[in-house]
Amino acid sequence: MSQTTIDPRSLRAPPRRPLRLSWSDERVRAIVWQVLVVGVIGAIVWWLWSNTVHNLEVRRIATGFGFLGREAGLPIAESLIEYSPTDTYLRALTVGLLNTLKVAVVGIVLATILGTVIGIARLSKNWLLAKIAAVYVEVIRDLPLLLQLLFWYALLQGLPGPRQALNPVQGVFLSNRGLKLPWIEWQDAHSFALIAFLLGAAGTWLYRRAAIAKRMQDGRPRAVWPVAVGAMLVLPVAVWAALGAPWVVDWPALRGFNFRGGLNMSPEYFALLLGLTLYTAGFIAEIVRAGILAVPGGQWEAAQALGLHPGQVLRQIVLPQALRVIVPPMTSQYLNITKNSSLAVAIGYQDIVSIANTTLNQTGQAIEGIAIIMLVYLTISLSISFFMNWYNARIALVER
* pLDDT tens-digit readout, 124-168: 888 999 999 999 999 999 999 999 999 999 998 888 888 888 888
Read off the pLDDT of each residue in 40-56 and give the average, rounded to a whole number. 86
Read off the pLDDT of each residue in 261-280 and give the average, rounded to a whole number. 91
61, pLDDT greater than 70: no
Q: Per residue in 167-186, pLDDT tens?
A: 888 888 888 888 888 888 88
Read off the pLDDT of each residue in 199-223 and give the average, rounded to a whole number. 86
Long-range contacts formed by 211-220: CB under 8 A, 24+ apart: none
pLDDT at residue 1, as a whole number: 46
State the pLDDT confidence band at 373, using cuts at 50, 70 and 90: very high
Burial of 164 (0-12, 13-18, 19+ CB in 10 A): exposed
CB contact set of 363 (below 8 Å; sequence gap of 6+): 67, 70, 89, 369
Which pTM does this prediction carry?
0.80
Q: Within 10 Å of residue 259's Cβ, how many Cβ atoms?
A: 19
* Torsion sign, CA atoms 56, 62, 64, 69: negative
Angle between helices 366-395 and 319-340 (to 10 degrees): 180
Q: Which residue has the higher pLDDT, 234 or 216?
A: 234
Average pLDDT of the chain is 86
State what percent of residues in the chain have pLDDT above 70. Answer: 93
State the pLDDT confidence band at 272, using cuts at 50, 70 and 90: very high
Which residues in the chain belong to E strands, given as ranges? 173-175, 178-181, 183-184, 249-250, 253-255, 258-260, 263-265
Residue among 359, 383, 391 at smallest CA distance from 104: 383
400, pLDDT greater than 50: no
Q: Per residue in 100-111, pLDDT tens?
A: 999 999 999 999
Read off the pLDDT of each residue in 266-272 and give the average, rounded to a whole number. 92
